[in-house]
Amino acid sequence: MAFSSTFSVTPAFLCDNIRWFPHPSHMHQAVNARTRLRPISAKLAEKAALRYKKLGDSDLEVSEITLGTMTFGQQNTEKEAHEILSYSFDHGINILDTAEAYPIPMSKETQGRTDLYIGSWLKSQPRDKVIVATKVCGYSERSSYIRDNAKVLRVDAANIKESVEKSLKRLGTDYIDLLQIHWPDRYVPLFGQFFYDYSKWRPSIPFVEQLRAFQELIDEGKVRYIGVSNETSYGVMEFVHTAKVEGLPKIISIQNNYSLLVRCHFEADLVEVCHPNNCNIGLLAYSPLAGGALSGKYLDLNSEAAKKGRLNLFPGYMERYKDSLSREATEQYVELAKKHGLTLVQLALGFARDRPFMTSSIIGATSIDQLKEDIDAFLTTERPLPPEVVAGIETIFKRYKDPAIL
């Protein structure tokens, strides 16, 4: 991992599998304090740096924030991307998330640009200090331009191999730390859809074939670990069972949507499946701020922040956060945050941070100011959130269960 130390100020029995590592930029403060014989309280020390957790069954120790990069090449220039990356890693983040499909919204003209920006930044970084997570597209009839000779994208051996080779070239590296399936090869409800449509079942690439393709890449040293994204309990169990029976690589992570506005899909049964005592799959939660909706900026659609936000820049994008009860629920969370002296961002990110099944929250930002606010929310918001705050969240949740369902 990126940063480590031999001392810890947090008792192990309070942290479970969490380890606390002071960031190098704060080490001189700790040393000077010890020299002056001034004690550092545990509470203050905990705010000095991000925490790190082991990702599933792997040996990856990942920061509780993962830097999301899907705006690089669309909303962010290469220079801005480098500044965001450097700020993130200077402040303790050690894992970044990208995908062959990025930037988002997807287009033939910009596809792969995010990786190129990351690759040019990686040239100046110690490779072993950066955990690179990327994703291979699942089934798609609209994104065939991503492959050299394919009318439909599939998660078969040929597609996976081509995806990895191209990703490695764009990123300028010879291995990927975590390769994830962006969405399943089979039909599942995706990106705001909630209920399974019985009539949409279709034949798909067998789980064993997918895992064998990953095994080959792992044997070649091009991929270290594998994971899934936008997956269901059925999919996770099939991958885990197939790996066990066939002696193939086990998935270590799941990257799914999770926030104050999107909870039920994961909490209903994936929590049980992914539990450390069951399948031990680490959650990398995307959109903990619900595409920016939980910053509160879209409550006033005429504000400058709202006009510049991606939900308005790209018509139809994440419309579930605008054309639903999400707005009404967000207003309730704003009031709860104010009642307890918090910002909405602090409430939303503090909630995601404290979930017992959370390994890391994926945070995207189009500016350093946004990124600083998000990182500070992790470090300055009381850990864990006070019981009265949690009770307030649950009261609102009981009334607005997943209000983004259209």
Residue 108 lies in a domain: yes
Of residues 40 and 211, which shows the higher confidence score?
211
What average pLDDT does this structure show over 193-201?
Answer: 96
Long-range pairs for 152-158: beta carbons < 8 A, 24 or more residues apart: 154/185, 154/205, 155/181, 155/184, 155/185, 155/205, 155/210, 156/185, 156/205, 156/209, 156/210, 156/213, 157/209, 157/212, 157/213, 157/216
- Structure confidence at residue 71 as a pLDDT band (50, 70, 90): very high
Query: Helices 326-339 and 344-354, interaxial angle, to 10°?
Result: 90
Q: In whole angstroms, what is the distance from residue 49 CA to residue 52 CA?
A: 10
Q: In whole angstroms, what is the distance from residue 160 CA to residue 197 CA?
A: 27
Over residues 283-311, the pLDDT tens digits come to: 999 999 999 999 999 998 788 888 788 88
pLDDT of residue 387: 98
Of residues 368 and 318, which shows the higher confidence score?
368
Longest CA–CA separation in the chain, Å: 70
Residue 247 lies in a domain: yes
Residue 403 lies in a domain: no
Residue 367 lies in a domain: yes
Q: Whose structure tokens read 């990327």?
A: 134
What average pLDDT does this structure show over 172-179?
Answer: 98
- CATH number, domain of 68, equals 3.20.20.100
pLDDT of residue 48: 56
pLDDT of residue 184: 98
Distances (CA, A) of 356 to 272, 284, 316: 12, 13, 33
What is the share, in percent, of the chain residues with pLDDT greater than 70? Answer: 88
For residues 82, 49, 1, 134, the Cα torsion angle rounded to the nearest 10 degrees is: -50
- Gyration radius from the chain CA atoms: 21
Over residues 315-347, the pLDDT tens digits come to: 777 888 887 899 999 999 999 999 999 999 999
Q: Which stretches does DSSP call E strand in 112-271?
A: 131-136, 176-181, 223-229, 253-255
Q: In whole angstroms, what is the distance from residue 234 CA to residue 256 CA?
A: 14
Reduce the DSSP state of residue 66 to 3 states and report it: strand
Q: In whole angstroms, what is the distance from residue 406 CA to residue 392 CA?
A: 24
Q: Which of 47-51, 165-169, 199-203 has the lowest mean pLDDT?
A: 47-51
HSE-CB at 173 with a 13 A cutoff on CA atoms is 29
Residue 402 lies in a domain: no
Over residues 178-194, the pLDDT tens digits come to: 999 999 999 999 988 99
| Burial label, 339 (beta-carbon count in 10 A; 0-12, 13-18, 19+) | exposed
pLDDT of residue 30: 38
List helix spans (H) across 175-286. Answer: 207-219, 233-246, 264-267, 270-274
- Residue 22 in this model has a pLDDT that exceeds 60: no
Q: In whole angstroms, what is the distance from residue 220 CA to residue 249 CA?
A: 13
- Residue 270 in this model has a pLDDT that exceeds 90: yes
Domain count across the chain = 1
- Residue 40 in this model has a pLDDT that exceeds 50: no
Over residues 343-367, the pLDDT tens digits come to: 999 999 999 999 999 999 999 999 9
Residue 101 lies in a domain: yes
102 tagged catalytic: yes
- Residue 37 in this model has a pLDDT that exceeds 50: no
Dig out the tokens for 219 from the structure.
């044997």
Q: Which domain holds residue 234?
A: 52-292+352-382
Residue 7 lies in a domain: no
Residue 390 lies in a domain: no
Paired sense of beta strands 61-63 and 51-54, if any? antiparallel
Partners of 133 in beta bridges: 97, 178
Marked catalytic residue, from 52, 87, 102, 317: 102
Dig out the tokens for 102 from the structure.
């990025």
Over residues 85-139, the pLDDT tens digits come to: 999 999 999 999 999 999 999 999 999 999 999 999 999 999 999 999 999 999 9
